[in-house]
Structures are given as structure tokens and as C-alpha cells.
């Protein structure tokens, strides 16, 4: 397998370090708009199978040419969601497989944003499913940790743990702290603003997809391995758009443990317009006028999440809570994956959140390379058998767990 990795931020860099320990691929071309950053990622991998190059992720023709020139079998997208569609189309043009960790962006309903969906996450990609099927190529969308591993958990629960499922709720929480910062997101602030301030989506079997207000339906969820109780709220996320396509459940939600301080900061950003992505004109002291995106300014002012590992302490947990029946009796479980920042820093030199995101697409690529996972068209993680993925994740040295919430 020959891989084009686009994007060498925290997750992209972690991907190179994880993949360097595996032998399922022949070559990985590591590309970024910033060549120095790509070269740094390759240097830390310390493997001759890796090579660095420059590419603009928004230039789909350039990306398609790079895929063809390097004879790549698959494009792995490790950029933020703004670049999903040009990279998605470039892979299709080059007849390469495609894999991402976040799907095409949503647009709220113009009149009823907190009641009805507008353009949903992934709609632009699923609209091109027929074209991908015609080429016989696979576009595996939402294959990070959330979405990604959380979706694998949902399919595993449906296949092996439940007869009927009343509710699936992805629940994400952590007890991470960062020395020296009052506000330092552990993941891309651009993506965090996008998913936290957009209308959250909920799916119900008898109603379909609908939206609520941001940060709605707060609940306290008790996370395992010492993390403990964390208040979680509704957030827009891909799992709610993916799981119902392949798994039958009465209700599907995604709730994120943000904390009141983080929610307040996001609300203030929204109130003063700093969450906007459309450019505004700024006049400098010398009279020079430039156009900048307010959200890009916020991202530039905050520390790079990839560089916070040495200051971070604690654990992060991604998981899927499922309630239903087994053999006529009620059952409630939580399938989860916990990463301790001290372990990920010592083992890979990557902070816990980016490492946890990065390991899953590498596992998926290995399953595709050896033929265990195969298909054509635009598919989510739920479309594939879950057990091989979970077994291989454990073989990577990162086991997952199941907590029985209620005795069977």
C-alpha cells in the first residue's frame, strides 16, 4: 500500500509515529502546505518509507496530480474539515481510496436552526456515493476516534451484545489539565468551535434527524479509569449522522464533557463574532488593509494543541453507551477507550487526545491493506465487521474496555 497523508498537525504527526511501527505499507508521502512541518513529521518517524512534500489541500487538481505521480493507493486526510471536499474529490479523480476523520461541513437550517437540519455533516460526501461505487473505490468517512472507534463500538454492540437497542449515546470526557494555561483546548480550536456552536443533531427512529440548541440536555456521566463524573452536553458530531445508516436504534446522541468554563468561553466567542469563518477587513496602524477570518485569529492566539503534551496531565476517554435488551432482559453498557497522557507522551511523544485520534485511521488502513475490510462507495465505520478492528487496536498496544452499567 502507498499512502498520501495530507496534514501534519498534531494528528498527522502522530499518524507517522504510529505507522512507522507497522509493516503493512510500502510508502507514505507526508504532505502539508508548510513543507517544514511535513519534513519535521518525517524526521520524527525515522523511517525511509516516509517522504515529505508540499501541497495545498484546497487545490484538488494539485492533490490529484500528487496522488498519480506517487502512485498512491489511498489518501489519508488529516486536515481540518474545511478541506474535506477538495481532498475527497481529488482522491476520486485519481481513483484512489480515501479516508478521513471528520466529514464535510454542515450548514444550519436557514429558518429553524434549532429544530430542523439544513445540510448535515457528510451530506456532500454521501451525495457522491454512486460515483465512488462506479470507480470501485472506497471512501471511508469518519474514521478517527469520535467519529470512528465510537462507531465501531456501536456496530459491535449491535452485532454481539444486544438483541434490540433503545438508545446509543456517544459520551466523551476527560480529566486533562494543562499547566500554565487557563484556556488551552487539547484539540483544534477551529474544529471545536465548529462542532460546539453548530446546532447539535439527534436521531430518533420515528422522527429522523432533528436539531436542538447548543449545549442542550446536560447530564453527568461517570467515566471509567479514575476520570469520574463529568457534565456532558449535546454537540454536533458525525456519529449521529453515521450510526443510524447501519445500526438500528431508537435514539442516537453525542454528548461532550466540556465543562462550564469552556462552554462560557465558546459562548463569548460567539457573542462577539470571533467564531465566524468569513473574512473581515482589518486596518493596521500603517493603513494597510487585510482580510482575516476571526476564527483563524482565535486559533493563532491559542497554543498549538500538539505542543501541549509536556504540560498536560490526566486521561481522555472516548466511548459509546448503549441501552437495550439481551435475551429478553434489559442491558446497559459503556464501551470505551482511555488514553493516559503520561503513557502516550512516553511511548510516542504525542499528547493523549491527538494520539487517540491518530491510532484509529492507521488501524483501519492496515485492515484495508490486508483485505479484512473492503468495499466501494462512501461508507462509515459501521459498514464493516467490528471485531477485527478491535482486536487489531489491542494488538497496537491500546486495549479497549466494556463496563456493564446494569446487571443482565
Model pTM?
0.92
Distance CA 269, CA 375 (A): 42
Quick one: average pLDDT of 389-405?
95
Quick one: average pLDDT of 13-27?
97
User: Where do runs of H (alpha helix) occur along 127-247?
Assistant: 129-135, 149-156, 189-197, 239-246
Q: Quote the pLDDT of residue 187.
A: 64
Q: Quote the pLDDT of residue 222.
A: 95
pLDDT in tens, 259-284: 777 788 888 888 888 888 888 888 87
Rounded mean pLDDT of the chain? Answer: 93
Quick one: average pLDDT of 194-219?
92
Q: Quote the pLDDT of residue 408.
A: 37
Which secondary structure element, helix H or strand E, spans residue 99, and what is its range? strand 97-100
Examine the pLDDT at 126 and tell me if it is beyond 80.
yes
Higher pLDDT, 297 or 302: 297
Of the candidate ranges 118-127, 163-172, 291-300, 328-337, the one whose mean pLDDT is the lowest: 291-300
Q: Quote the pLDDT of residue 292.
A: 85
Q: Is residue 140 within 8 Å of residue 97, measured between CB atoms?
A: yes
- Please list, in sequence order, all residues whose beta carbon lies within 8 angstroms of the beta carbon of residue 178, skipping any fewer than 6 positions away: 184, 186, 308, 311, 312
pLDDT range class, residue 300, cuts 50, 70, 90:
confident
| DSSP for residue 144 | B
pLDDT range class, residue 40, cuts 50, 70, 90:
very high
The strand ranges marked E within 179-270 are 201-204, 208-211, 219-223, 228-234, 251-256
| Complete DSSP assignment for 147-167 | TBHHHHHHHHIIIII-SEEEE
Q: Quote the pLDDT of residue 28.
A: 98
Q: Quote the pLDDT of residue 6.
A: 98
Examine the pLDDT at 407 and tell me if it is beyond 60.
no
Examine the pLDDT at 186 and tell me if it is beyond 70.
no
Quick one: average pLDDT of 66-76?
98
pLDDT in tens, 80-91: 999 999 999 999
Q: Quote the pLDDT of residue 193.
A: 81
* φ, ψ (nearest 5 deg) of residue 101: -115, -5
Q: Quote the pLDDT of residue 104.
A: 97
Examine the pLDDT at 304 and tell me if it is beyond 90.
no
Q: Quote the pLDDT of residue 114.
A: 94
3-state secondary structure of 171: strand
Amino acid at each position: 500500500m502507498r499512502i498520501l497523508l495530507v496534514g501534519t498537525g498534531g494528528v498527522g504527526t502522530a499518524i507517522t509515529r504510529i505507522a512507522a511501527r507497522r509493516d503493512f505499507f510500502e510508502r507514505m508521502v507526508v504532505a502539508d502546505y508548510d513543507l517544514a512541518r511535513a519534513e519535521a513529521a518525517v524526521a520524527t518517524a525515522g523511517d525511509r518509507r516516509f517522504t515529505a512534500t508540499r501541497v495545498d489541500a484546497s487545490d484538488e487538481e494539485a492533490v490529484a496530480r500528487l496522488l498519480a505521480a506517487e502512485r498512491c493507493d489511498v489518501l489519508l486526510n488529516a486536515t481540518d474539515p474545511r478541506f474535506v471536499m477538495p481532498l475527497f474529490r481529488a482522491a476520486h479523480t485519481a481513483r484512489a481510496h480515501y479516508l478521513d476523520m471528520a466529514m464535510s461541513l454542515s450548514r444550519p437550517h436557514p429558518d429553524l436552526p434549532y429544530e430542523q437540519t439544513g445540510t448535515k455533516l457528510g451530506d456532500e460526501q454521501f451525495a457522491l456515493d454512486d460515483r465512488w461505487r462506479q470507480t470501485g473505490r472506497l471512501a471511508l468517512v469518519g474514521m478517527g476516534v469520535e467519529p470512528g472507534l465510537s462507531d465501531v463500538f456501536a456496530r459491535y454492540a449491535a452485532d454481539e451484545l444486544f438483541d434490540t437497542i433503545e438508545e446509543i449515546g456517544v459520551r466523551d470526557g476527560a480529566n486533562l489539565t494543562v499547566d500554565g494555561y487557563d484556556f488551552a483546548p487539547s484539540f483544534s480550536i477551529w474544529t471545536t468551535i465548529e462542532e460546539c456552536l453548530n446546532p447539535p443533531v439527534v436521531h430518533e427512529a420515528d422522527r429522523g434527524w432533528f436539531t436542538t440548541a447548543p449545549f442542550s440536555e446536560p447530564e453527568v456521566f461517570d467515566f471509567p479509569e479514575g476520570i469520574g463524573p463529568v457534565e456532558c452536553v449535546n454537540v454536533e458530531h458525525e456519529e449521529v449522522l453515521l450510526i443510524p445508516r447501519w445500526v438500528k436504534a431508537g435514539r442516537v446522541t453525542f454528548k461532550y464533557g466540556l465543562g462550564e468554563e469552556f462552554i462560557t468561553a465558546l459562548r463569548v466567542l460567539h457573542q462577539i463574532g470571533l467564531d465566524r469563518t468569513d473574512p473581515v477587513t482589518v486596518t493596521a496602524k500603517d493603513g494597510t488593509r487585510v482580510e482575516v477570518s476571526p476564527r483563524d485569529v482565535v486559533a493563532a492566539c491559542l497554543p498549538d494543541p500538539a505542543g501541549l503534551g509536556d504540560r498536560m496531565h490526566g486521561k481522555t476517554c472516548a466511548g459509546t453507551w448503549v441501552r437495550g435488551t439481551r435475551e429478553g432482559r434489559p442491558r446497559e453498557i459503556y464501551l470505551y477507550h482511555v488514553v493516559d497522557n503520561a503513557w502516550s507522551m512516553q511511548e510516542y511523544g504525542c499528547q493523549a487526545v491527538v494520539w487517540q485520534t491518530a491510532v484509529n485511521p492507521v488501524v483501519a488502513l492496515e485492515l484495508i491493506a490486508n483485505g479484512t475490510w473492503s468495499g466501494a462507495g462512501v461508507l462509515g465505520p459501521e459498514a464493516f465487521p467490528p471485531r477485527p478492528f478491535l482486536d487489531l487496536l489491542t494488538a497496537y498496544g491500546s486495549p479497549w474496555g466494556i463496563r456493564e452499567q446494569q446487571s443482565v
